[in-house]
Chains A and B, each alone.
Chain A
Amino acid sequence: MATPLEFTDAARERAAKILDRYPEEYRKSAVVPLLHLAQEEWGYVSPEAMACVAGLIGCSPVKVAEIATFYPMFNKEPVGEHVLAVCHTLPCALTGCGSVFDHLSEKLGIGLGESTEDGRFTLRKSECLAACDRGPVLLVNRRLHTHVSPEKVDEILAELDKGSR
């Protein structure tokens, strides 16, 4: 079996706090917050990370995999430092998300689901991000950018470049 990863002491403390929020018999409910914690720790949720979470809540690892594979926002593969997700559901498509995506793809030199070689960016599409009235929208890590255009993409990328220097 995938050998479970071990949380750092700090993360373990946070995990304990999360588990404390649920009564003993409903510990399984902690699976989503614990997966978030795992993703924060390791950048993505590997099978080993799922096994770690399963160990904490005392269930079979396949039950954690059920949840982890359901949510696209849990990364199952390593991702770049910044995850860029262009919404491609209908309202955003009508307002031009296609050109936003193409522009990003060209600028970064990567296709859908790929990461730049330097490990800085991962490019994705997402389903509706619940901001249809302000499309096209782009999710950068946990921050939502609205009314995005190719020009605005350049600004956002420049901003991210600055931030990491």
Chain B
Amino acid sequence: MATITIDEKQYTVEEGRNLIDAASDLGIDIPHFCYHPGLAPDGNCRMCLTEMEIRPGQFGIVTSCTIRIKDGMNFRFNSPAVLDNRKGIMEFLLINHPLDCPWCDQAGECKLQDHSFDHGRGHSRFVETKRVPPKKDLGPHITLYTTRCILCQRCTRFCDEISGTSELGVVQMGSKSEIATFEDVPLDNKMSANVADICPVGALVTKDFLYKPRIWHYDKVDTVCPGCATGCNTTLETMHQKIYRTRPRHNEAVNGYWMCDEGRFCYHGWQDADRLTAPLKRVDGELVQATWPDAMDAAVSGIRAVLDGEGDSAMGVVGSPMATNEENFVLCKLGAEAFGSPRTGLDRKLEGEAWTSKSGFHIDADKAPNTRGARDMLGAGSLDDILRGIEDGSIRGLYLLGGDIGRTLSPEETAAFRKLEFLVVHDVHRSDLAELADVVFPGAIPFEKNGTMTNGQGRVQRLSPAFPPPGGAREDGAILRYVGQRMGADLGGTDPAGVLEEIAGNVEGYAGLTYDLIGDQGAMTGGEGPSEAAGG
């Protein structure tokens, strides 16, 4: 720790910390544009200038973003020289800026707007014609509104330091400086859209979010990306049961300040497809819409018929790596308590491409978010065991927590499901397996789920629902409990925090985990929980 002086008051802050961050820890905002905590300081925008005592009694102007805290440092944040400088920088930055805030995507979350308000002047002394360079299509996801750029170079540094792909540069340096790509080499890498997040103004925008409603109209919810086993922390922005934007939420242990493009835009795949909004049941060979009580009756009598005819072990349950820990846990309970120790299985890994950026940001090969957690909840059972059971006739009925499992099956394996006497599937779309089912329950997509998932590293993280499932669709945990109830088994309360407590008491590695402990940054399984400290 170090003791420093700011405007004649003493503070204790972390030694070696960047002055902008140290001040922000103290609740003091040093205006800045080019500095971003995820990038190396560059000192180019000059907005962060403050005064520092460089010799006893003598102050000099320094860039806060390049200062690392040492004991005894003495600063002036509000001296006339500092305030004057800010005013001057703002005036320079606005010389060519179009001030088209009314239709700029950044309006409301723009540093230039904020700092203009705080440090700008009310009128412009610039009477000359502004430069109006045309906007540019930089790549598949990003457009550059060249006029709005303040040349802070966060974007070029992101491509140099983080993605390591170096597509962006500053050309025509001088009064005509412009951010550019080279010839026909577009800004196209696995994490390109992050540049729109870190651009402090409305220069870099994602095509996905262009001309969408103004940012202050959205509801925000913190959750976790369902795109792969990395489990990047995200914030969703939603309105009227629709997601408009996903942005990364800082978590140093998982994703830093970033997320990948595929994960960022994957919400389209979930929300644009036709959703199941009512249960389906098979009548004369056809799947038809049914009311919940009807579908439930059909499910319960079908399951009973299998259990009565074939005995306890004839009914299998298969968990889902797209579902939460709590849902998979309750499924297990349903199996044990309502179906009588059935066989459990789990989706195979949905293998895709792994990728690690220059800075170490990792996209996992496992394209399901909760393979690890589902496995922890379900134990060792594998899908192959279940398939063998179907083949040899020892499994006659099956309960699937998700139809997504079909994505990892061969056509022959899918066909094998026809041998089943009775099949219940939770699904969000009419997947291949839903088509084979006798009863389909309309469940929730990951963005509607409340619960926890365990990422590839073993970090348990919280998902919060952006909105309830549409129409007659329900949270999968609630459906499971309803089935349990009808089968005469009490599967406990519906509160995921309560289920997590039960998990903590039953599943190895989860001891001590609570919603509070997990918080918004997650907590590791097996060891870092307080249970270890308590000798658990």
A interface residue numbers (CB < 8 A to B): 1-2, 47, 50-51, 59-63, 65-66, 69-70
**Closest 6 A-B residue pairs measured CB to CB?**
A60-B166, A62-B169, A62-B182, A70-B173, A69-B171, A66-B169
Nearest-neighbour CB distance to chain A for B157, whole angstroms, equals 12
Nearest-neighbour CB distance to chain A for B90, whole angstroms, equals 26
Contacts of A1 in B (CB 8 A): 182-185
Contact B184 A70 (CB under 8 A): no
A-B contact pairs, 26 of them (CB 8 A): A1-B184, A1-B185, A2-B182, A2-B183, A2-B184, A47-B182, A47-B183, A50-B182, A51-B182, A59-B166, A60-B165, A60-B167, A60-B169, A60-B182, A61-B182, A61-B183, A62-B166, A62-B167, A62-B168, A62-B171, A62-B181, A62-B182, A65-B171, A66-B171, A70-B172, A70-B173
Contacts of B180 in A (CB 8 A): 62, 65
Q: Which residue of A lies closest to B184 (CB)?
A: A1
Q: Known pairs A51-B182, A59-B166. 5 more at Cβ < 8 A?
A: A1-B184, A2-B182, A65-B169, A70-B172, A70-B174
Q: Which residue of B lies closest to A68 (CB)?
A: B171
Contacts of A51 in B (CB 8 A): 182
- Mark contacts of B160-179 with chain A using CB atoms, 8 A cut-off: 1 yes-contact digit, 0 otherwise: 00000111111111100000
Contacts of A59 in B (CB 8 A): 166
**Complex-state Cα separation, A34 to B166, whole angstroms:** 20
Report the number of A-B residue pairs with Cβ-Cβ less than 8 Å: 45
Nearest-neighbour CB distance to chain A for B262, whole angstroms, equals 23
Nearest-neighbour CB distance to chain B for A96, whole angstroms, equals 26
Contacts of A70 in B (CB 8 A): 172-174
Contact A63 B166 (CB under 8 A): yes
Interface residues on B, range: 10 to 19
Q: Which residue of A lies closest to B182 (CB)?
A: A62
Contact A61 B185 (CB under 8 A): yes
Nearest-neighbour CB distance to chain A for B188, whole angstroms, equals 12
- A50, A62, A70 interface centre (most CB from chain B within 10 Å): A62
**Complex-state Cα separation, A50 to B173, whole angstroms:** 16
Q: Which residue of B lies closest to A61 (CB)?
A: B182
**Complex-state Cα separation, A60 to B166, whole angstroms:** 6
**Complex-state Cα separation, A157 to B173, whole angstroms:** 33
**Complex-state Cα separation, A59 to B181, whole angstroms:** 14
- Mark contacts of B139-172 with chain A using CB atoms, 8 A cut-off: 1 yes-contact digit, 0 otherwise: 0000000000000000000000000011111111
Nearest-neighbour CB distance to chain B for A157, whole angstroms, equals 31
Nearest-neighbour CB distance to chain A for B252, whole angstroms, equals 28
Contacts of A62 in B (CB 8 A): 166-169, 171, 180-182, 185
Contacts of B170 in A (CB 8 A): 66
- A47, A59, A61, A66 interface centre (most CB from chain B within 10 Å): A66
Nearest-neighbour CB distance to chain B for A64, whole angstroms, equals 8
**Complex-state Cα separation, A15 to B180, whole angstroms:** 27
Q: Which residue of B lies closest to A69 (CB)?
A: B171
Contacts of B172 in A (CB 8 A): 69-70
**Complex-state Cα separation, A83 to B169, whole angstroms:** 29
Contacts of B183 in A (CB 8 A): 1-2, 47, 61
Contacts of A66 in B (CB 8 A): 169-171, 173
**Complex-state Cα separation, A51 to B172, whole angstroms:** 17
* Of the residues B165, B174, B182, B184, contact of A65 by C-beta under 8 Å: B182
**Complex-state Cα separation, A2 to B185, whole angstroms:** 8
Nearest-neighbour CB distance to chain B for A98, whole angstroms, equals 22
**Complex-state Cα separation, A2 to B168, whole angstroms:** 16
Q: Which residue of B lies closest to A63 (CB)?
A: B169
- A47, A50, A59, A69 interface centre (most CB from chain B within 10 Å): A69
Contacts of B184 in A (CB 8 A): 1-2
Nearest-neighbour CB distance to chain B for A68, whole angstroms, equals 8
Nearest-neighbour CB distance to chain B for A88, whole angstroms, equals 16
Nearest-neighbour CB distance to chain B for A38, whole angstroms, equals 15
Nearest-neighbour CB distance to chain B for A95, whole angstroms, equals 25
Contacts of A61 in B (CB 8 A): 182-183, 185
- A1, A2, A47, A65 interface centre (most CB from chain B within 10 Å): A65
Q: Which residue of A lies closest to B169 (CB)?
A: A62
**Complex-state Cα separation, A128 to B75, whole angstroms:** 41
Q: Which residue of B lies closest to A2 (CB)?
A: B183
Contacts of B169 in A (CB 8 A): 60, 62-63, 65-66
**Complex-state Cα separation, A27 to B182, whole angstroms:** 20
**Complex-state Cα separation, A62 to B183, whole angstroms:** 8
**Complex-state Cα separation, A50 to B182, whole angstroms:** 10
Contacts of B182 in A (CB 8 A): 1-2, 47, 50-51, 60-62, 65
- B171, B180, B183, B185 interface centre (most CB from chain A within 10 Å): B183
**Complex-state Cα separation, A125 to B156, whole angstroms:** 32
**Complex-state Cα separation, A1 to B183, whole angstroms:** 7
Contacts of B165 in A (CB 8 A): 60
Q: Which residue of B lies closest to A54 (CB)?
A: B182
Q: Which residue of B lies closest to A67 (CB)?
A: B173
Q: Which residue of B lies closest to A47 (CB)?
A: B183
Nearest-neighbour CB distance to chain A for B62, whole angstroms, equals 27
**Complex-state Cα separation, A61 to B180, whole angstroms:** 11
**Complex-state Cα separation, A2 to B183, whole angstroms:** 7
- Mark contacts of B185-211 with chain A using CB atoms, 8 A cut-off: 1 yes-contact digit, 0 otherwise: 100000000000000000000000000
Contacts of B167 in A (CB 8 A): 60, 62
Nearest-neighbour CB distance to chain B for A40, whole angstroms, equals 22
Within 8 A of A (CB), among B236-253: none
**Complex-state Cα separation, A47 to B182, whole angstroms:** 8
Contacts of B166 in A (CB 8 A): 59-60, 62-63
**Complex-state Cα separation, A69 to B181, whole angstroms:** 13
Nearest-neighbour CB distance to chain A for B512, whole angstroms, equals 48
Nearest-neighbour CB distance to chain B for A87, whole angstroms, equals 17
**Complex-state Cα separation, A47 to B166, whole angstroms:** 16
Contacts of A47 in B (CB 8 A): 182-183
**Complex-state Cα separation, A60 to B185, whole angstroms:** 10
**Complex-state Cα separation, A102 to B167, whole angstroms:** 42
Q: Which residue of A lies closest to B176 (CB)?
A: A69
Q: A62-B167, A62-B168, A63-B166 are in contact. Are A69 and B173 (CB under 8 A)?
A: yes
Nearest-neighbour CB distance to chain B for A20, whole angstroms, equals 25
**Complex-state Cα separation, A159 to B192, whole angstroms:** 56
Nearest-neighbour CB distance to chain B for A4, whole angstroms, equals 11
Nearest-neighbour CB distance to chain A for B373, whole angstroms, equals 40
Contacts of A69 in B (CB 8 A): 171-173
